[in-house]
């Protein structure tokens, strides 16, 4: 902690810890909105943010969905990118060596698959790579072996996929929950019992938009994931519900674009947060929000940001 020469007052401590990982601040760039990190090197001082989650990785490269894949909605965004990525092997060979050069920022690998074996094989490949602080399992994918229902919408499928991942890695495991469920508390609990070290939520909400003139869907895939400020109040409620249901740390996200938003998620029970869609509107959003958070804490005389977690006052 450093003292300001002007005021002699100590700068607020923004550090947070989850799953044995220490972050200098709770701001993590969300998967799919920050490339593999390197692409943002020229616009964001990567060592200023707490960490970033790379694009979802699968065992083989994937081309993604046909366009249009993005559509802006009222206070939000629809996307159906289709999890386009270079594959786990190419990530290790082509991206990770560069990422290891970035000091003082945590790199988290997001993993997805369409069968339990996909998760297993992708994790086995990634285990060979040095410099990955944790895995974040994206379970908002259709389980092709179970008729296409999302892993993250079925407690048994979720249990199986988390148990499998736990078996194949000793690295910290963050399970990223789907919001497209009846009880987020139940899913968070299932993830915890299957061996997750933390849960992160929320992923996008299944949604759609139609062009009333052409009568066609705005997104070629017809349905898409809704993100951005439009989902914030629902995401916040889900973080609150999940945090009450588990003992492991909760990483909150969904529509965060200001320091006050981060404080809301922490009061609801989040230990750290992720910023996704805000980086589409302003590529420097993650870095700017760290400065804003520092100022917010100073103005509110908060010495240790982590002390806010779970601090919601209900009278």
Among 122, 153, 192, 227, binds ligand FMN (CB under 6 A): 227
Q: Compute and round to an integer the Cα radius of gyration of the chain.
A: 19
Would you give the DSSP letter of residue 215?
T
> Segment contacting ligand FMN (CB under 6 A): 20-28, 31-39, 93-101, 122-130?
31-39
Nearest Cα to Cα of residue 185 among 119, 272, 269:
269
Would you give the DSSP letter of residue 154?
S
- Concerning whether 297 is annotated as a catalytic residue, the answer is no
61 phi, psi to nearest 5 deg: -65, 150
277 binds ligand FMN (CB under 6 A): yes
Nearer to ligand FMN, 176 or 288 (CB): 176
- Cα–Cα distance, 2 to 111 (Å, whole number): 37
Residues 105-164 that bind ligand FMN (CB under 6 A): 110, 138
79 binds ligand FMN (CB under 6 A): yes
Among 50, 56, 113, 252, binds ligand FMN (CB under 6 A): 56
25 binds ligand FMN (CB under 6 A): no
Give the active site residue among 81, 141, 157, 273.
Answer: 141
Among 12, 19, 33, 221, binds ligand FMN (CB under 6 A): 33
169: three-class secondary structure by DSSP: coil
Give the count of alpha carbons within 13 A of 174, CB side only.
31
> Segment contacting ligand FMN (CB under 6 A): 113-121, 214-222, 270-278, 292-300?
270-278
178 binds ligand FMN (CB under 6 A): no
286 binds ligand FMN (CB under 6 A): no
Among 24, 55, 59, 171, binds ligand FMN (CB under 6 A): 55
- Cα–Cα distance, 178 to 181 (Å, whole number): 7
255 binds ligand FMN (CB under 6 A): yes
By the 10 Å C-beta count (0-12 exposed, 13-18 middle, 19+ buried), 11 is classed as middle
Cα-to-chain-centroid distance, residue 261: 15
- CB–CB of 121/83 below 8 Å? no
> Segment contacting ligand FMN (CB under 6 A): 79-87, 114-122, 182-190, 207-215?
79-87
Segments of 48-105 assigned E as strands = 51-53, 70-73, 76-79
Min dist. Cβ of residue 217 to ligand FMN (A): 17
Would you give the DSSP letter of residue 224?
E
The residues that touch ligand FMN, with contacts defined as CB under 6 A, are 30-33, 55-56, 77, 79, 81, 83, 110, 138, 176, 203-204, 227-228, 231, 253-256, 275-278
Catalytic residues: 141
């Amino acid at each position: 902690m450093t003292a300001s020469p002007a005021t002699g007052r100590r700068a607020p401590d923004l550090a947070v810890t989850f799953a044995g990982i220490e972050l200098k601040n709770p701001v993590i760039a969300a998967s799919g909105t920050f490339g593999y990190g390197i692409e943002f090197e020229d616009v964001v001082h990567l060592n200023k943010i707490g960490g970033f989650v790379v694009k979802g990785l699968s065992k083989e490269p994937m081309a993604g969905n046909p366009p249009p894949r993005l559509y802006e909605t009222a206070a939000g965004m629809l996307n159906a990118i289709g999890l386009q990525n270079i594959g786990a092997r190419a990530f290790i060979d082509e991206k990770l060596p560069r990422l290891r050069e970035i000091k003082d920022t945590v790199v988290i690998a997001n993993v997805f698959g369409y069968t339990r074996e996909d998760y297993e094989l992708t994790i086995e490949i990634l285990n060979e790579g040095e410099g990955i602080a944790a895995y974040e399992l994206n379970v908002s994918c259709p389980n092709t072996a179970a008729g296409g229902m999302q892993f993250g919408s079925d407690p048994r499928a979720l249990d199986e996929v988390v148990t499998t991942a736990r078996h194949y890695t000793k690295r910290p495991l963050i399970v990223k929950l789907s919001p497209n469920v009846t009880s987020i508390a139940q899913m968070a609990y299932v993830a915890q019992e299957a061996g997750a070290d933390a849960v992160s939520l929320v992923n996008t909400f299944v949604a759609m938009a139609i062009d009333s003139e052409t009568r066609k869907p705005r997104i070629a895939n017809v349905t898409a994931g809704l993100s951005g400020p439009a989902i914030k109040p629902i995401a916040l409620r889900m973080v609150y519900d999940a945090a009450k249901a588990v003992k492991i740390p909760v990483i909150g996200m969904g529509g965060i674009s200001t320091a006050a938003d981060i404080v809301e998620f922490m009061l609801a029970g989040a230990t750290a947060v992720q910023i996704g869609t805000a980086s589409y509107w302003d590529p420097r959003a993650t870095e700017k929000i760290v400065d804003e958070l520092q100022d917010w804490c100073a103005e509110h005389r908060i010495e240790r940001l982590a002390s806010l977690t779970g601090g919601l006052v209900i009278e």
